[in-house]
Amino acid sequence: MGKFQIIGGLAVLGAAFWTLQSGAAADEEGPRTAYEHPGKSTNLQEREWPDRVARFTFDSGYTFEYPDAVRGIYVTGHSAGGARFENLLEFLNDTALNSMVIDIKEDHGYLTYRPEEDNPYYDISQRMIADPEGMMETLEENEIYPIARIVVFKDSVLAEERPDLSFTQDGEVWKNRRGEAFVNPFLEEVWEYNVDIAIMAAEMGFQEIQFDYVRFPEGFENRDDILDYDVGNYTDGEDNVQKRVDSVTDFVAYARERLEPYDVDVSVDIFGYAATISEAPGIGQNFTRISENVDVISSMIYPSHWTPHFGLDKPDLYPYELVDAYSQVENEVLGQLDNPPVSRPWLQDFTASYLGSGNYIPYGVEEVEAQIRALYDNGIDEFLLWDAGNNYTRGVDYLLEND
């Protein structure tokens, strides 16, 4: 692999795998190997782009085939770099599961592996995955489709280091009740920071970049007036709700544009309820607009995460009914798009005992299969399973071949 260079403030990896595809000759003004802002505009999609741009295609050297349908699991950095990885590998090889969503930038803001010491992100890295190249080779050998999870705007590490990129109150970085800090989706410096990391993941060989926490903090509309923060280029007179929606959507469009030369799919995790309303006013998620800018949309539709909805008073008790009702709504919304993304929802493979007696049921084979069946009944054939501890239910028929 080549070494990173700082070009225009961005970290760029110079590698022997770049090939000129089209555009300006490299000896005219030099190839654009980093994203440059050709002009400021509140909406990224309204910016004017140069006609002559050097385009490159990056080849990581790995060969991964997109499976018949992605059926995957979430894998933490510690699991990917520890003894549990072998167990998860065996689990996938023994079932119809075929993909792993692996933390590369995790929920606190740390990289889960150590890049080279001169890498600008070395100081925020941890050695959870000691041998990332060996991990990628193992995934390739076992034909497991690799997806890199990048947690974007929930980032306590960056917020503490750069309060000017975060939200403050009385001079201190604001944190939610769980002690988590967020960085500011209005600021393009934050966009660049995260997409540079995504590019590093693409160069590692990941075939898809999955962005999570692409939003403002929950309930932001209730603290908008008491927090101090910069709105960046979003200074026009529109209301704050629309500004938040614009900034989140623009980030996704920006990320997809910069990742295009790496031939990776771009996906976004989004709250399931965002598909049931026109816009989520506090967090800035517009399901339709985000869907228009990604290859894959992954709604988090865990039954435990819903308040009474779809006529279900305690949704966790009804895994099939909840997923079935949601799928019908999502299909209708995506069906209105000219070029809809692949739908690949997150399903629940954990027991939500924190909901309290009478409000939850243990989740096992029957409950996991019920959610999958609801997807299949609605023509959705891809899914991801979530368990924070990576302890997935054994004995599930993921293809429902025995129904």
- Per run of 10 residues, the mean pLDDT along the chain (length 403 residues) is 33 36 32 31 42 60 95 98 97 98 98 97 98 98 98 98 98 96 98 98 98 96 94 88 95 98 97 89 93 98 97 98 98 97 98 98 98 98 98 98 80
> What size, in residues, is the chain?
403
CA–CA distance, 324 with 341 (Å, rounded to integer):
19
- E strands in 230-362: 265-271, 296-300, 342-343, 346-348
Amino acid at 193: Y
Residue 400 falls in which region: left (phi positive, over 0), alpha (psi -120 to 50) or beta? left
- E strands in 247-337: 265-271, 296-300
Using the Cα atoms of residue 57, residue 61, residue 66 and residue 71 in order, give the sign of their dihedral.
negative
pLDDT attached to residue 56:
64
CATH entry 3.20.20.70 includes domain 68-300 = yes
pTM of the model: 0.87
pLDDT attached to residue 280:
82
- For 282, what's the count of Cα atoms within 13 Å in the CB-facing half-sphere? 11
